[in-house]
Every structure is written in C-alpha cells, then in structure tokens.
Amino acid sequence: MDKVRIGIIGIGNMGTSHAREIFSKKVKNMELAAVCDTNPERLEWAKNELGDEISCFETDKAFFAANNLYDAVCIATPHYEHPRLAIEAFKLGKHVMVEKPAGVYTKQVAEMNMAAEKAGTVFSIMYNQRANPMYQKVRELVQSGELGKIKRMVWIITDWYRSQSYHDSSTWRSTWSGEGGGVLLNQDPHQLDLWQWIMGMPERIRAFAYFGKYYNIEVDDDVTAYAEYADGKTATFITSTGEAPGTNRLEISGSMGKLVLENNMITFWRNRVDEREFNRTYTGGFGRPECWKCEIPTVVKTGQHMAIFQNFTDCILNGTPLLAPGKEGILGLEISNAIHLSSWTDNWVNLPIDEDLFYEKLQEKIKNSTFQKKQVKAKVLDVGGTH
C-alpha cells in the first residue's frame, strides 16, 4: 500500500475544505476517492469542481456499500452522526478521521472508541491545534517541569463572535436536537482538548452557563467554569460567542513563573528560583523572587488541518505515531459534558461524569428543542409560504 484513498462523508463547510485540499494533492500519498452528502446542491458542486473521477453518493448507506473504493473515511457531518458513522466504517475495516467534536455525549463516544479498538485500524480526530507550534511549545514547557509545580490555568477565549444570522443559517444549528450544544460543542472543542492535553484531566468542575444570553438560541453562548485537580492546581475557563472584540489569552502559573500565550506570542516570566523555595528561605518580609521576562520563539505555521491529515496518512502507511488519536476525543468532550451538567444541576460535577445522568438531562433538552419547529418553518418558507 503506497497511498491512502479517502472518502468524505459530509461536504459542508469543513468537508468542502478538506475535499479541496486533498483533491489538490496537499496531503502526500493521500487521494480523494469519494464524497457523500444528502444535499443535492453539494453533490452538484462536487461533480463540477472535483471531476468525474470522484465518486459521489447521496446516502451513507450507498457510500458504505461501495467501500471497495476507499481505504479511509473522513466524517464531517453534524455532531450527533460522528460516532454512528465511525462505527459503521470500523465494521468495514476502514481507517477513520472524525471531525471535532468526537460526538455530543461521552456515552456515545465510548461506543465509538470500543469499535475502533475492535477494528484495529487507524483512528484520528481533527484536533488540528495540536499541530500548532505555539501550543506544542506551551505543552512542552509545562510537562517538562520548566514552569515548576503548576498552580493555575486561566483561559479567556471570547473571540468567537457570531451574529444572529450565523445561528439562523441552518435549521440544526444552535439547537439541542440538531447540534447538541453551543459554544462548548461548536467553537471550543479545540480549546477543551488543549486544556486537558496540556494540563491533564481535572478532578471536579463547577460551572455557570448561560443559554441564549446574547442570541435567540436555546444553547450555551456564555460560560464560566472552574476546575480543581487532585494535586491542588486549578483551572478557570471563560468563553462566549457574544463579545466583540473578544480575547484569546491562555495564562498558566507555576512555582517557576508565569506563561502567557496571547496574540500569537508566548511570554515566560521566569523566576530565578522556585517560588516555594523562596518562600521557605526568604526572611526579608516584602521580597519576591527575581523574575526575567523571556520571549519564547515559535514558528507560526499554516495548514494545520492538512498536518493532521498528513500524520493520519503517515500512520496508516508507515506506523508514524498519531498526533491526535481518535480515542482521546472523549477527554475534551467529557469536560464539555461536565460543564453542561454542572450548570444544569447547579452543583459540582466529579470526573468521570455520571454518563447516564448527563444523557437523561440532554434528552430533556432535546425533547423541548426548537429544531423540528425550525425545520417546519424552513419548509414553509421554501415553498413561498408566509406563516
């Protein structure tokens, strides 16, 4: 096997981008073989833009029936469908790349992970920010001990501004039954993954989420979460789609200083001696450790999505270790589920979460979701109705 033939299910925003890039040979030793979408307009686009050599399917059933055409499957559909389609691909012995998030709830994603393990094929998730040199450097500095004993992480990520027209762009968007969540599940999966990738999984979470605070939507658009770890460190995560201008600032404090990532720059305020050691030995009252401001050099690269696809391809062909293993998609999702559950129950949530309780609460949200009403309204408007 000297190349990987891939089929893409879902050619909306991300699927279209992936199809174009792979079709243009941006991933070495990977070629686009097939696409699938239930929207006739998207299939027409594929036929016009990608040519006759790319097979097009209008149902996932037809796509999977023609599984001899491809070796790997990329899933870029609405969130609820990710685990179901991945499991089907694993049953056929296919390698799988799933778009973020891994799914909507961990109980569903755990089943996907079990299917992946049983299949024994390559499973990756599109956590392209793991290919970002800045986050790689932050992780290296934290996990190498350069920052000393970690005390606190604070991440303010509010530069996700979206207008009401964005939320209204699709009937499934920003609904519990259609999308499964708001800012946490749509905009923040990368940051929630990076949180645990850099800091590890917390022990418990207390969160406050607002639903439809800034928009006419039913899902979360403003969230503040506080997490505690078994070793005493803490994390605070603040996110919103309703602030302009917003902020993207990651700050991590440790006994050897403070690390800040903002505006594509990493700054390390480095203590000459460990603060805990200084605290034990200093006798002068108001003193503090001598601190140096250090600019940490990094190379800002583009094409992070294609970097994940290249890593996926290299793993299939050569056994290269995965940068973003698919089985790890459940970790950031568990933080997301814990934040929702804490807000819904107005209480602390321990991790691992109570998956059955989360599923029960989610079903209550889905039962009262406006998704079906939006679909009916859209159909009326499509035929010229005014109701």
AA identity, residue 218? E
Query: pLDDT per residue over 91-114, tens digit each?
Result: 999 999 999 999 999 999 999 999
Query: Residues 19-32: pLDDT tens digits?
Result: 999 999 999 999 99
Tens of pLDDT along 171-191?
889 999 999 999 999 999 999
List the structure tokens of 316: 């299939």
pLDDT at 374: 55
**Residue written as token pair 């989610």:** 362
Structural contact between residues 35 and 46, judged by C-beta atoms closer than 8 angstroms: yes
Using CA atoms, how far apart are residues 258 and 104, in angstroms rounded to an integer? 34
Report residue 370's pLDDT band, with 50, 70 and 90 as the boundaries.
Answer: confident
User: Which helix (H) or strand (E) element contains residue 232?
Assistant: none
168: which 2 tokens?
A: 């209204």
pLDDT of residue 360: 97
Q: For residues 267 and 260, is the Cβ–Cβ distance under 8 A?
A: yes
- pLDDT band at 384; cut points 50, 70, 90: very low
Distance CA 249, CA 216 (A): 28
Q: Residue 373: pLDDT band by 50, 70, 90 thresholds?
A: low
8 A C-beta contact, residue 183 and residue 266: no
Confidence (pLDDT) at 301: 67
Q: Is the peptide bond before 189 cis (omega within 30 degrees of 0)?
A: no
pLDDT on residue 338: 98
Mean pLDDT of 42-67: 96
- Here the tokens at position 129 are 């920010």
What is the structure's pLDDT at 383?
Answer: 31
pLDDT of residue 379 exceeding 70, the answer is no
Q: What pLDDT is attached to residue 112? A: 98
Please report the pLDDT score of residue 380 as a whole number: 33
Residue 257: which region, alpha, beta or left (left: phi > 0; alpha: psi -120 to 50)?
Answer: left
pLDDT digits 0-9 by tens, 283-321: 999 999 999 999 998 876 667 899 999 999 999 999 999
**Where is 305: in which H helix or E strand?**
helix 304-318
pLDDT band, very low/low/confident/very high, at 377 (cuts 50, 70, 90): very low
Distance CA 330, CA 105 (A): 9
What domains are defined for the chain? 4-129+303-325 (3.40.50.720), 130-302+332-367 (3.30.360.10)
The pLDDT tens digits for 318-360 are 999 999 999 999 999 999 999 999 999 999 999 999 999 999 9
Please give the structure tokens belonging to residue 151: 């005390």
Give 61's DSSP letter.
Answer: H
Q: Read off φ and ψ for residue 32, nearest 5 degrees.
A: -80, 125
Per-residue pLDDT band at 382 (split at 50, 70, 90): very low
Asked whether the bond before 78 is cis by omega within 30 degrees of 0, the reply is no
| 145-149, 226-230, 294-298, 299-303: the lowest-pLDDT one | 299-303
**Total Cβ atoms within 10 A of residue 109:** 26
Question: What is the number of other CB atoms lying within 10 angstroms of the CB of residue 90?
Answer: 23
* Claim: this prediction has a pTM higher than 0.85: yes
Per-residue model confidence (pLDDT) at position 376: 42
